Structure 1
Amino acid sequence: MSAADIFAEGFKADPYWWEAAEPETDLDPLPARADAVVIGSGYAGLNAATELARAGLDVVVIDGGRIGEGGSTRSGGMVSSGQKLVVGGAIKGIDPELFDRMIGDSIASFDYLQTLINEEGLDADLKITGRFFGAHAPSMVEPTHRNGRILAEKTGVTVHLYDRGNQRQVIGSDYYFGGMVVDEYGGLHPGKYHQALRRRARMAGVKLRSHAKAGPVRDTDGELKLVPTERGDIIAEHVVSTTNGYTRKDGHPDLARRIVPVKSYQIATEPLPSDLIEALIPKGRMISDTRRDVIYTRPSPDGSRILFGSRPGFFEREDRDAAPAIYERMTEIWPELKAYKITHAWSGFVAMTVDKVAHMGHRDNSEFAAGCNGNGVALMSYLGYQTAQKILGRQNRPTAFDRERFTAVPLYSGNPWFVPFVAAWYRLQDWYERR
């Protein structure tokens, strides 16, 4: 199938998730005063806003685009606890005591997400189906198994190790050389989860306002802060910034030196035969691998199609232009999918940090939570909640991610000029290891 033939009739360069839950526009006037302003309408922002409103504060959430148009509804929707710290390499260079605390908070974030969805009856299609981590090269089998044992020891999850001889029990492909499965991990529907959080926030009294791009937060003569936006200024006692991968230097200059937005792309296949999906991804597991230029893939929550995420190469592209390269990576793992087309292609920005872990704290005259490093569904929801608890004075202790030290990226002020070079180096290393 040629590149031009991979697009199904009615193809959209929009997230597949928006079919069920599209972002919202709310152009009602901004309040001149509020107890708290939350900048950014993702998972962190909405969880923070709801907790503050339930405590009696007058809260407004503002976003530069539509409510929910950013990274939260563009993700793969995979949920886990602590795996990024171990499998993602963040364990290197972190004090063991701090690492153990981070693991504890990562576990707490996963518990928080599940409790939130289940106890409040949120429609999010959360399913715990397990997750397979594939070793993309023979040399990566042993490190993957080692990380699996560490993950089981540190977090208490159930880990199964596989070599190439028995990996078809968990994935219908010979692409990998083995790997591991974590039973307790799963996925949800990012769009529906966000829609449920919007409804929850409004029920708590939160005002949601779109198309209100914010400038740098300024102190006033007193203890209040001024939040300038394209639609007017807001005076508030508290400001929470949760812009994550969409942090701009003209809005948050200090944070922008510490957060690198990296564009990740996804495609969705047309509806597939149910027996084919079960053969390719038994039990509907989430899947990722050990490549530095990582891929992530899963069935859609309704089990009708496969969603596949990656980068198309070194340089950023328009979503439709990137789709053929993503499609090629997908069919390299599952050649059977060459017989099927794609209906959606989209992208979103992931917030990367130097130390590969998330951070919360106080910068740019606001409390902030950012730096999901591609693992944000549970963690950013939790850090938004924790930021609200911090403002309300309800924390028993600071979270491990709330640290003064947040290293800036050298020679960087918000323009990620170096990403293509890093991407090229990552892909070269991956190729060398595999070949």
Structure 2
Amino acid sequence: MTQTRPAAKSTPYWWEAAPVKPLPTQPLARTADVVIVGAGYAGLTAGLTLARAGRSVIVLDKMNPGEGASSRNGGITSGNIRLSYAELVRKFGEARALAVEAEGKAAREFIYDFIKTEGLDCDFQLTGRFYGAIGKENYDSLARSAESLAKSLGIDSYAVPHAEQRNYVGTDYYRGGSVRMDIGGLHPAKYHAEILRVALAAGVTVHSGMAVTSIDKDVSGFKVVASGGTITARQVLICTNGYTDGAAPYLRRRLVPVRSRIIATEELPAGLMAQLMPRLMMCGESKVLGFYYRPSPDGKRILLGGRDASQSGDPAAPTVMLRKGLVELFPELANVGLSHSWFGNVAMHQDMLPRIFEHKGLTYATGFCGSGVVWAPWIGSRAALKLLGDDKAKSAFDFRPPPFIPFYNGKPYFMPAFIQVYRMQDRIAMARATR
């Protein structure tokens, strides 16, 4: 009989070791070279880059720094691009598609070097990632992609046939898969806390609980009106992503906040962890609404995440759905309890590519589509270099804004229906895979 009792806590597992908290209150300066809205990975990395270049930087966040997706995510350095290479070519042309693929490798290398150079204590381990195939046809596709990555970008990437699968993950759910060794895992809340520490040490001023209500252009630059006063700034960078509100209406019509939920098991016996996750790799799967999962940094639990169709409150059904998925993967966990279940917003948009763009003088670094552990610091740093006028650092993600969504103004009323369609597509794919 499957264990169905609710998770013990509805706060992120990551907050146990690195709780988010308000910063000490300080007066709001009236002028700055740059105001950044959003104190997550992107905003803080941008602020650090700008401060070290001699700019005065103020970062404003309506919540506690990192309280959004930066401390709620799975901590997997995947740097996924949702579109296939063929889709990138069709939508954006071959030159940009090639540049996007190459920049993915550069972004991961940037993150790993950043962690090492700055001495960020965030439990980072370059474990590799196993990606499970749904059926033989999908396995063949993953094998070809792994070979292509190895040849084109020199990434240590290879196929794993079904007969060898349990050497990587202790389940028979998949029909083989692929491995990339340039992906690892970290503790996302510790990662954010360390970026905040380094940014503050570099002279970035960060305010928590400081909501921005409006941003207007004038002859001196911009007037940023916040709950604590008004700041005059030469430049403004918006990095709000899945928590964008009415202060950025242009962006709000282009980003769709989508709930993503993660569950964490209670501590498991060492022998069981060795059986289920023998290499302690990060894991994912090739479904439209596929799960992502990993061991906790101490190797004692399994954390599993996926999309959450709810839009308000904290209903039980999404946790039940994730728990069912966990037990389908690992029947051995049928009677294991959950210690945590929590959710946070990721930001999707029609292009499904991270983005840097300008509109009416404002600069935006946003739209990470559920892969912000890698993309948010990278895009934040590239946006900062853009503000500094460094043309050599121009990113392949720096081009037109994502298209606006008709009849949409921030409330994703259509997402539950979309998620049901995606689940149906996954069920059809699973049925075909088992024929």
What TM-score do you get using the length of structure 2 for normalisation?
A: 0.94
Q: Which residue of 2 aligns with 1:164?
A: 162
Structure 2 residue runs of 5 or longer lacking an equivalent are none
The DSSP-based 3-state class of the residue aligned with 2:374 is helix
Which of 4, 15, 18 is the equivalent residue of 1:18?
A: 15
Q: CA deviation at 1:184?
A: 1.8
The question of whether the paired residues in 2 share the 8 Å contact of 1:134 and 1:289 is answered with: yes
The question of whether the paired residues in 1 share the 8 Å contact of 2:125 and 2:186 is answered with: yes
The answer as to 2:287 corresponding to 1:291 is yes
The question of whether the paired residues in 1 share the 8 Å contact of 2:220 and 2:232 is answered with: no
Q: CA deviation at 1:4?
A: 4.8
User: Map of 1:151-230 to 2, 5 A cutoff?
Assistant: 151-220=149-218, 222-230=219-227
The question of whether the paired residues in 2 share the 8 Å contact of 1:217 and 1:364 is answered with: no
Q: How many Å separate the matches in 1 of 2:89 and 2:139? A: 18
Amino acid of the residue matched to residue 165 of structure 2? Q
Aligned length: 430
Q: How many Å separate the matches in 1 of 2:192 and 2:391? A: 25
Q: How many Å separate the matches in 2 of 1:162 and 1:87? A: 22
In structure 2, the CA distance between the partners of 1:110 and 1:84, relative to structure 1 (3 Å rule), is farther
Q: How many Å separate the matches in 2 of 1:14 and 1:93? A: 39
The DSSP-based 3-state class of the residue aligned with 1:186 is coil
The DSSP-based 3-state class of the residue aligned with 2:334 is helix
Q: Which residue of 1 aligns with 2:354?
A: 358
In structure 2, the CA distance between the partners of 1:283 and 1:229, relative to structure 1 (3 Å rule), is same
Q: How many Å separate the matches in 1 of 2:360 and 2:13? A: 34
Q: How many Å separate the matches in 2 of 1:156 and 1:258? A: 35
Q: How many Å separate the matches in 2 of 1:86 and 1:186? A: 21
The answer as to 2:356 corresponding to 1:327 is no
Q: Which residue of 2 aligns with 1:303?
A: 299
Q: How many Å separate the matches in 2 of 1:81 and 1:323? A: 25
Q: How many Å separate the matches in 2 of 1:346 and 1:312? A: 10
User: Map of 1:69-218 to 2, 5 A cutoff?
Assistant: 69-81=67-79, 84-86=82-84, 90=88, 93-218=91-216
Q: How many Å separate the matches in 2 of 1:372 and 1:96? A: 21
Q: Which residue of 2 aligns with 1:244?
A: 241
The DSSP-based 3-state class of the residue aligned with 1:37 is strand
Q: Which residue of 2 aligns with 1:385?
A: 381
Q: Which residue of 2 aligns with 1:5?
A: 5
The question of whether the paired residues in 1 share the 8 Å contact of 2:40 and 2:192 is answered with: yes
Q: CA deviation at 1:309?
A: 0.2
Q: How many Å separate the matches in 1 of 2:95 and 2:107? A: 19
The DSSP-based 3-state class of the residue aligned with 1:401 is coil
What TM-score do you get using the length of structure 1 for normalisation?
A: 0.94
Q: How many Å separate the matches in 2 of 1:360 and 1:109? A: 14
Q: Which residue of 2 aligns with 1:231?
A: 228
Q: How many Å separate the matches in 2 of 1:91 and 1:422? A: 25
Q: How many Å separate the matches in 2 of 1:146 and 1:322? A: 34
In structure 2, the CA distance between the partners of 1:137 and 1:23, relative to structure 1 (3 Å rule), is same
Structure 1 residue runs of 5 or longer lacking an equivalent are none
The DSSP-based 3-state class of the residue aligned with 2:213 is coil
The question of whether the paired residues in 1 share the 8 Å contact of 2:385 and 2:393 is answered with: no
Q: How many Å separate the matches in 2 of 1:89 and 1:21? A: 39
The question of whether the paired residues in 1 share the 8 Å contact of 2:169 and 2:279 is answered with: no
Q: Which residue of 2 aligns with 1:257?
A: 253
RMSD over aligned CA atoms reads 2.0
In structure 2, the CA distance between the partners of 1:199 and 1:171, relative to structure 1 (3 Å rule), is same
The DSSP-based 3-state class of the residue aligned with 1:115 is helix
Q: How many Å separate the matches in 1 of 2:262 and 2:237? A: 29
Q: What percent identity do the matched residue pairs reach?
A: 35
In structure 2, the CA distance between the partners of 1:335 and 1:4, relative to structure 1 (3 Å rule), is closer
